[in-house]
Amino acid sequence: MTDAPTSTIRTRNREPRVGVFRNVWRPLATGGDGLPPALGVVRSLVIRFWLPVLLVVLWWIFSASSTNLFIPPLSAIVQSTIDDFVSGELLAAMGTSLVNLLVGFLIAAILGIALGLVIGEVRWLREVLDPFIHFLRSVPQTALVPLIIGALGIGREPKIHAVAFACVWPILLNTIDGVRGVDPSVRRVAKVFGVPRSLYYRRVVLPGSMPQIVAGLRVALPIGIVVMVVSEFFAANIGLGFYILESSSTFKIPATWGGALLVGVIGYILVLLFGLFERRVLSWYFRSGAQ
């Protein structure tokens, strides 16, 4: 009497799972919404970029006859940017700025994640350092750039330190929150089985807090871009910030606009690349549907 209901229950439990997997894979194979993959990609690009393209076209049209010194035609801005790219001036400035940003961001990531794991795990240390952390993160980071450069001197190193100092706080705070959010039952199991401390951090705390850590990195990236530009306003002779400042001080207004817009384009590209990194690192998280 019990065999038939048991087999029926098992069969019923299996059927919805098959249906779920079919419903998941079918949109992926057809590009979503039943479209072929190529049309799905085109549709996604159109949805994402139609408004920016429209705004650029309108700007190009309505600024074509501009005689305002500080609002030049978009065509003049584009031509000035292309000329400086061809001459190599803008490429050199971009290279210097991106290196400063990358090195400073990596330093901030290493320090923020390492300290965040320890502070988040040790309660008494977190309570002692909490006022200092929130005080320092509340200070405007761009306001400290002249002080950092004045203390460390001119050259590339102060710019890197300024970027690192600005980026470390969102990474640190998100790492602490991620560690505190690790499931307590997982912690208890690790302690019951006597997991070594180093292995506990690598296999329990770090993976459990990884979504928050990546969120902190995502928040820190645009902050680093802003500080990268601002730091090159002071005691610099190369970089995008210096390029913008020098262009504005010599009334090369199209070049000033071009440098500012180029920073925005670089920021958007870096955000897209970070999105790929995020999908790679948190692939298990996105597959779980927790996002």
State how far the Cα of 253 lies from the Cα of 247, in Å rounded to an integer: 7
pLDDT at 142: 85
Is 64 among the domain residues? no
pLDDT at 191: 83
Is 105 among the domain residues? yes
pLDDT at 17: 42
Judged by DSSP in three states, 274 sits in helix
The whole-model pTM stands at 0.82
Is 241 among the domain residues? yes
Is 30 among the domain residues? no
Q: What is the DSSP string of 54-121?
A: HHHHHHHHHTTT---TTS--HHHHHHHHHHHHHHTHHHHHHHHHHHHHHHHHHHHHHHHHHHHHHHHH
Is 13 among the domain residues? no
Residues of the chain with pLDDT under 50: 1-31
Q: Which domain holds residue 162?
A: 76-287
Which two three-digit tokens encode residue 78? 């584009």
pLDDT at 33: 59
Is 23 among the domain residues? no
pLDDT at 144: 87
Is 65 among the domain residues? no
E strand intervals along 214-286: none
CATH assignment of the domain containing 190: 1.10.3720.10
Q: How many CB atoms lie within 10 A of CB 45?
A: 10
pLDDT at 106: 97
Q: What is the mean pLDDT of the chain?
A: 85
Is 49 among the domain residues? no
Total domain count for the chain? 1
Give the pLDDT confidence of 167-216 residue by residue, as tens digits: 999 999 999 999 999 888 888 888 888 888 888 888 889 988 999 999 99
pLDDT at 60: 94
pLDDT at 48: 85
